[in-house]
Structure 1
Amino acid sequence: MTYFTNKLSTRLDQLLANDHQHLLCGGLKGIEKESLRIGKDGFIAQTPHPTVLGSALTHPTITTDYSESLIELITPPFADVKDSLDYLRNVHQFFYDHLDNEILLGASMPCGIDGDESIPIADYGSSNIGHMKHVYRHGLWHRYGRTMQAIAGIHFNYSVPEALWPILHQQENSPLSLEQFTSEAYFGLVRNFQRIGWIILYLFGASPAICKNFFKSRPELMAQFEEFDQGTLYHPYATSLRMSDIGYKSKNQADLKIDYNSLSGYVSSLSKAINTPYPDYEKIGTVVNGEYRQLNSNILQIENEFYSTIRPKQIIKSGEKPTLALKKRGVRYIEMRSLDLDLFNPVGIDEAKARFIEALLLTCLLKDSPCITDEDHQINNANQLAVANFGRKPGLQLNKGNQQILLSDWATEILEAMQPVCAVLDKDNTDKPYSTALAQQQLLIENPDLTASARILKGMTETQLPFSRFALNKSAEHARQFSLSKLDKIHTQEFTEMAKISLAEQKDLESQKQIPFDDFLTQYFSQQ
């Protein structure tokens, strides 16, 4: 098994030898940021998705995730991540300019909830596609409970610079077509990230504590935690409980063997899960008393139900299955999904973090990436869970190639492997933003107390506040920052127009004659 070393990869060696290294620069970066809308009293908003923000069904930038109250803010992809972050700040400002009585929760783990019934499921209107999205979420409720679905995070979308692919294809004398080569290279990136993606949880995890009311529908899970106070549970060395077994991990999916060794294997294994009945879900029923409880009773209703830290993606056409888009047109970009909201940042992510992630993903592309076995998958998963629950524990060891290694030693190796990539990405920039971002993360490896997870627990201890109140206070600080400024007229007009257009598009969609919903689902799932 080949793992990261601090030696240059063959791919990067050849790029440097032929003076093509500049082609690594300028890959597109997009950010998707989820946040719970909460009232100033700290409780989850019971109001519908605000009309002033547009239609959650058709708006390209402002939508909802699981809940009507779980807003999702999406940036277009930009070559410079500064532009992605500027756009994210602008859409936050637009939100705060138009909503006086609500704020966005800055923490990933939900606060201000009172059991599943307090979390309103997202509504997308009366069209068949809108109804399908709503029924899918009903299915998630019956399968996993609503509370787990109210967890928020950031998805970092990245596409490798298009001009790089023909050069890599040529220098490796690949017998594959350019599209096939590109997809297989993306899968190599994905496999490498699965091996070392735990470093994201260590460096940027920001969910070491959790409200007791998170477990109202699953009280049996509380015993595994220590009590911080009457309202808060925690692990003293946790980094990201969001990415632990009580968060985005699903025991229902533990035995799924999704194949990441090729595009065809991935599509085939994911499709199999979508088409394989699951006895526990059959007991729920699909249509009960004339109402849909879920889209189907299979292991997965649709592709999005599969929880993974990173996904290969293709831009889908209206009503197209994601697996079909991949099968037809290959991989277009990847979606990295393991990033917690940064409670100390008004938009949940900063520039240094984004630059580090870009460099890490590129390093994953450039390094050798052997196929993953079932044993490798179990090791990767165990490493991730260990870091999520105990990542800052002194002397914590992980499994690297069936050998135990200190987390700090392995993390340092990974950062050393990223140095040449960061140097290339910095180009002639005298500020060296990528190398600077890398150096900042090295400090967190040397001193775990500097991580966001440690700072949250320290802040709770010093203020003697439960997690919910600490998170609410930070969120209110962010809201106050936005209240001190206003979005400029040009961007305000842009977002206002986008909202109007999206509402008109939903109205137009719903005015069209709809085929029976049963027939719509049959057509959707029969796509070949």
Structure 2
Amino acid sequence: MSFNNTVDQLSDAQGREALLGMFRGIEREALRIGTDGQLATDPHPNALGSALTHSRITTDYSESLLEFITPVHQSIDALLEDLTQTHAFSVRNLNGQKLWPVSMPCYVGDEKNIPIAQYGSSNTGMMKTLYRKGLTHRYGALMQIISGVHFNFSVSNELWQRLYELSDTKLGLNDFISESYFGLIRNYRRLVWVLPYLFGSSPAICSSFIKDQEFDFEFMKTGKGTLYLPYATSLRMSDLGYTNKEQDTLNISYNSLPEYLTGIRAAIKMPSKKFEKIGVKVDNEYQQLNSNILQIENEFYSPIRAKRVTKRGEKPSDALSRAGVEYIEVRALDVNPFSPVGIDANQVRFLDLFLLHCLLSPSAPSYGEEEGEMTANLKAVVLEGRKPGLELTKAGEPISMSIWLQQLFDALVPLAKLLDGEHEYAYQTALSTWEKTIADPTKTLSGRVLDEIITKGTDHFSWVKTLAEDYHSFLSQYPLSNEVTERYKTDATSSLVAQRELEASSNQPFSAYLDDYFSMSDKA
């Protein structure tokens, strides 16, 4: 059934309610910086609790790289309010440090000074730190302090029931849901270039990020060492960003959940000659978890992931195998420098429309030739997305990017009207806001960034540092009730207690703990 037909079938009151019952969560990463705008290298602030056990405030790769996680929300307003409150509580407890409000790192001197995240002396905590140490040896620390925003998305049980009834599937409901989510993922990968075009906001970087690395990019230079590509949208998603050449050989399939799980599990056991040279244990000290292409599943880089909430000690693939796909995680979003929390409501509403379109549209399996097409389209938009007349490839044929983008926006109009109903215009407003970027690429986030540093002539570092100060001031003064503040304080204290309890109960030698962890993988 076509996308338009499916939307028509859902256009009654119950169908609209089923569509509106979306669940969303956000994970936002941000580097801590000192008053000089340089990377903070001190430990994770104690007032924020334990990065190992806190459900909302943690760290990613580095001790300096904060990650704020919202619970699941159905209301967009509640989602962004929750994220803002977490930011507001955190900045009040950074001892004057601020949050770097863009994806690419601030000025970095010696890469060796980037601190790896520390999670304490429990086996779980030591494994998390060792995994990050392995990433350092494999790809360098600089690549690991790039920030992004992850958007978690799922639809209501009521919508699944309606879609199940409309389908002619012979699958059970649970398998139908997993199959449909993988259909969404395939369509997303076909259209993923749309997101860096609209929301990419890293067309420029600090020259300190390049150091001695060699790249084919013909950078232009401005200000005090700012490098940029005139038509780039997201250098974060380019070869400068988080990529893993070793993974290019994996060819993990998204054509079904079983094929995906087979590919992921094989990758975890696939040896790498390059990583073997690092060694696993050198002079009796661990350097990485293992020397395979992936140390663990989290190392697999993809702009979208199929997810299910894991039980304690459960691997992501085992959770998917146990009960199927529960939600998807969008990982192709730069930090929005024009928002104090890295993302705004207009982006969320567009993402709703975009992901529903991917879900409700037919989705054929994808194979080698199309996989290459997807990769080439994404790379083209990441590096040259605002270039006049840019052409992509669709089903083997060249197509103007702007024409393809307009086709997508036209297709989303009926869905936006349906979600808004008779008295609301939020989705239609979001759609028209982003549609203006098709004719005028300067209205994209990357276009607005380059307008600041090229047209207005503001030094990139100075511009971002001023943003950091403005957002720090805004968040420091953001109203937090006593009740909300006390809840955050209680959560921080409870997380520290939970970490200590975990450390007290970790009586198994670390080497035995790792052996057990990976022997369970072997049985999968």
| Length-normalised TM-score, structure 2 | 0.96
Q: How many angstroms apart in 1 are the aligned matches of 2:394 and 2:21?
A: 32
Structure 2: distance between partners of 1:462 and 1:359: 33
What residue number does 2:473 align with? 480
Q: 2:403 aligns with which of 396, 406, 409?
A: 409
Contact 1:426-1:432 at 8 Å conserved across structures: yes
Identify the residue that residue 271 of structure 1 maps to in structure 2. Answer: 265
The reply to whether residue 103 of structure 1 matches residue 98 of structure 2 is: yes
In 1, Cα distance between equivalents of 2:246 and 2:499: 35
2:303 is aligned with 1:312: no
Take 1:115 and 1:13, find their aligned partners in 2: how far apart are those partners? 58
Report the CA distance between 1:464 and its aligned residue: 3.2
Correspondence 1:126-525 to 2 at 5 A: 126-216=121-211, 218-221=212-215, 224-428=218-422, 430-525=423-518
Counterpart contact for 1:239–1:388, Cα < 8 Å = yes
Residue type of the partner of 1:508? E
Whole-Å Cα distance in 2 between the matches of residues 275 and 220 of structure 1?
31
Q: Secondary structure at the match of 2:29?
A: strand
* Secondary structure in structure 1 of the residue aligned to 2:399: strand
Q: Shift in Å at residue 513 of structure 1?
A: 3.6
The count of aligned residue pairs is 521
The worse-fitting range, judged by mean Cα deviation, of 169-178 and 150-159 is 169-178
Q: Which runs of 5+ in 1 are unaligned?
A: none
The amino acid across from 1:457 in the alignment is L
Measured against aligned partners, the alpha-carbon deviations of 1:274-302 in whole angstroms (never above 9, x if no partner) come to 10100000010111111111111001111
* Aligned twin of 1:30: 25
Q: Aligned-pair distance for 1:468?
A: 2.1
Number of the residue aligned with 1:68: 63
Deviation of the 1:480 alpha carbon: 1.7
Amino acid at match of 2:441: P
Structure 2: distance between partners of 1:55 and 1:242: 28
2-structure distance, mates of 1:19, 1:41? 55
Distance (whole Å) between structure 2 residues aligned to residue 435 and residue 331 of structure 1: 30
1:51 is the counterpart of 2:46: yes
- Residue deviations 1:286-327, cap 9 Å, x none? 111111111110011111111111100010111111111111
Cα 1:237–1:223 change in 2 (3 A) is: closer
Is the Cα contact below 8 Å between 2:119 and 2:129 reproduced in 1?
yes
- Amino acid in structure 2 at the alignment position of 1:110: P
Report sequence identity in percent.
Answer: 45
On the 8 A contact 1:22/1:424 being kept in 2, the answer is: no
Aligned equivalents of 2:129, 2:421: Cα separation in 1: 47
Equivalent residue for 1:81, pick from 76, 79, 101: 76
Assess if the C-alpha contact under 8 Å between 1:195 and 1:380 holds in 2.
yes
Q: CA deviation at 1:463?
A: 4.8
Going from structure 1 to structure 2, the CA distance change for 1:335 and 1:362 (only over 3 Å counts) comes to same
Match of 1:40 in 2: 35
Deviation at 1:235, TM superposition (A): 0.4
Alpha carbons 2:45, 2:93 under 8 Å: kept: no
SS of the residue aligned with 2:343?
coil
C-alpha separation between the residues in 2 aligned to 1:487 and 1:376? 50
In structure 2, what is the Cα distance between the partners aligned to 1:432 and 1:195? 28
CA–CA separation in structure 2 for the residues paired with 1:485 and 1:359 = 30
2:87 maps to what in 1? 92
- Would the alpha carbon gap of residues 21 and 482 (structure 1) be closer, same or farther in structure 2, given more than 3 Å must change? closer
Q: 1:520 to 1:182 in 2, by over 3 A?
A: same
Q: Is the 8 A contact 2:23 2:155 kept in 1?
A: yes
SS of equivalent residue, structure 1 residue 210: strand
Q: CA deviation at 1:388?
A: 0.6
- The structural deviation recorded for 1:152 is 0.2
Asked if the contact 1:320/1:524 (under 8 Å) is kept, the reply is no
Q: CA deviation at 1:462?
A: 4.4
TM-fit CA distance, 1:14: 3.0
Amino acid paired to 1:181: F
In structure 1, how many angstroms separate the alpha carbons of the residues matched to 2:157 and 2:27? 22
Over 3 Å counting, the alpha-carbon distance change for 1:318 and 1:507 in structure 2 is: same
**Matches of 1:517 and 1:483, distance apart in 2:** 41
Contact 1:239 1:389 in 2 (8 A): yes
Conservation of the 8 A alpha-carbon contact between 2:3 and 2:357 = no
Aligned partners of 2:456 and 2:206: how far apart in 1? 17
Amino acid at match of 2:226: T
Deviates more, 1:376-385 or 1:250-259: 250-259
Answer with 431-440 or 244-253: which moved more.
Answer: 244-253
TM-score by length of 1: 0.96
Alignment partner of 1:43: what SS?
Answer: coil
d(CA) in 2 for partners of 1:508, 1:273: 34
State the Cα RMSD in Å. Answer: 1.6
**How many angstroms apart in 1 are the aligned matches of 2:421 and 2:490?**
38
2:434 aligned counterpart, secondary structure: helix
Distance 1:347 1:190 in 2: 26
- Tell me, yes or no, if the aligned pair for 2:62 and 2:145 is still in contact at 8 Å: yes
CA distance in 1, matches of 2:19, 2:476: 39
Question: Is the contact made by 2:31 and 2:66 (CA closer than 8 Å) also made in structure 1?
Answer: yes
- Once the 2 structures are TM-superposed, how far is the Cα of residue 229 of structure 1 from its aligned partner? 4.0
